[in-house]
Amino acid sequence: MTSQATRVLVLNSGSSSVKYQLLDMRDGTRLAVGLVERIGENTSRLVHTPAGEGARERTERIADHEQALKAVAAELALDGTGIDSPDLAAIGHRVVHGGAAFSAPTVIDDAVLAEIERLVPVAPLHNPANITGIRTARALRPDLPQVAVFDTAFHTTMPEHAARYAIDVETADAHRIRRYGFHGTSHAYVSRRTAELLGRPPEELNLIVLHLGNGASASAVAGGRCVDTSMGLTPLEGLVMGTRSGDIDPAVVFHLERVAGMDTDEIDELLNKKSGLMGLCGDNDMREIRRRVDEGDERARLAFGIYIHRLKKYIGAYYAVLGRVDAVVFTAGVGENAAPVREAAMAGLDGLGLVVDAELNAVRSGEPRLVSPEHARVAVAVVPTDEEMEIARQTFALVDA
């Protein structure tokens, strides 16, 4: 690596999309953000936005991930940092499932790639697309360090009693069934930023982090380490989400099979895509749900009520797991923007020291901030997440060592 190589390209490869950002790690500047979507269709679209400029958009068939990455490389080259640029220090790949093997970002070689492939059975929806992205990027720049940053890594510190399901141990181990947790990059970033906001070392802090986006997860973080999180073997467990059910009695699945005559794929689709807020009220966007609640819509009110009730249960559970809490932190699309969600989630929890200041909570801002009153026993904070920055930071830390 040359000494001027300070830029990191972050790639988040989905089954039919690639999201990317180019960051300069000297000062954390975001140089470009972009997205290729509908890969494999005739109406593929690439939107590339260099910092401080308008978006450049192209709609044309992009057949596969290789073509997508080449198109991205061409856009980046137009701005001066092509994929072959000496400025580029590394490519950081978001990888959803790192299983029990990967507890830290890892420079990708053939053995690492083989291990990520071995995890496909536990992450059939996500890891194949991540692997395609990695293969394609390695083919384009075989000499450049490429780093896998795992969504599960932050949660590998969970103790066995939090990570294990109470099922037959031999069966669980044979099939690698345990609670892995996801959104770890976000939980890690937000935990660190919260410590900065509070002006205290992460090692001293007990936090409950609520990542509320379309997918949603809570985690209990003690001294900078995750001790419990709400997602499990897959991102289906836990909170009520945009389209996912979160926690249900597993016997619901048997019932749907035996009584409703649904097969496994139908039940998978029901619980992952047609449940959560969407299943409850036909909308998964919290803005729309709040608008309907304000108009007196009963189904939206019930969906909101179920969402908040589940959230409170996790806050209570993690309060007990941690024993003492320094801050409850809201992040991601809903957590950062939806003041009514924060207000409702904290309502009635003053006995736990959790109080929201209505005026502070109403402030809209992209900055980390407190929404609890001064001198509150427990801080309530809003800390915008930045998964790409965290992936770039972890990637650069590894290759710049």
Per CB under 6 A, residues contacting ligand ADP are 213-215, 242, 284-287, 332-334, 337-338
Residue nearest to ligand ADP (CB): 333
* CA–CA distance, 229 with 235 (Å, rounded to integer): 11
Listed in sequence order, the residues at least 6 apart from 319 whose beta carbon sits closer than 8 Å to its beta carbon are 208, 325, 352
Place of tokens 């809209």: 364
Does an H or E element contain 180, and which?
none
Question: In the bound complex, what is the minimum distance in angstroms from residue 20's beta carbon to ligand ADP?
Answer: 15
User: 107-114: long-range contacts at Cβ-Cβ below 8 A with a sequence spacing of 24 or more?
Assistant: 107/145, 107/146, 107/147, 107/398, 107/399, 108/134, 108/138, 108/146, 108/147, 108/148, 112/148
CB nearer to ligand ADP: give 25 or 241: 241
CB nearer to ligand ADP: give 87 or 285: 285
CB nearer to ligand ADP: give 216 or 379: 216
Residue 13 β-bridge partners: 18
Check 151, 228, 283, 386 and give the catalytic one. Answer: 151
Tokens representing residue 178 in the block? 């345990």
Question: In the bound complex, what is the minimum distance in angstroms from residue 350's beta carbon to ligand ADP?
Answer: 24
Tokens representing residue 49 in the block? 């936005």
Range 59-80 burial, b when 16+ CB lie within 10 A, else e: eeebeebbbbbebbbebbeeee
Whether 102 contacts 153, CB under 8 Å: yes
Question: In the bound complex, what is the minimum distance in angstroms from residue 265's beta carbon to ligand ADP?
Answer: 23
Check if 151 is active-site: yes
CB nearer to ligand ADP: give 98 or 384: 384
Question: In the bound complex, what is the minimum distance in angstroms from residue 258's beta carbon to ligand ADP?
Answer: 33
49 by Cβ neighbours in 10 Å (0-12 / 13-18 / 19+) ranks as middle
Phi and psi for 386 in degrees, rounded to 5? Answer: -155, 80
Question: In the bound complex, what is the minimum distance in angstroms from residue 4's beta carbon to ligand ADP?
Answer: 33
Question: In the bound complex, what is the minimum distance in angstroms from residue 214's beta carbon to ligand ADP?
Answer: 3
CB nearer to ligand ADP: give 184 or 213: 213
CB nearer to ligand ADP: give 146 or 331: 331
End-to-end CA separation in angstroms for the chain: 11
Whether 127 contacts 117, CB under 8 Å: yes
Active site residues: 151
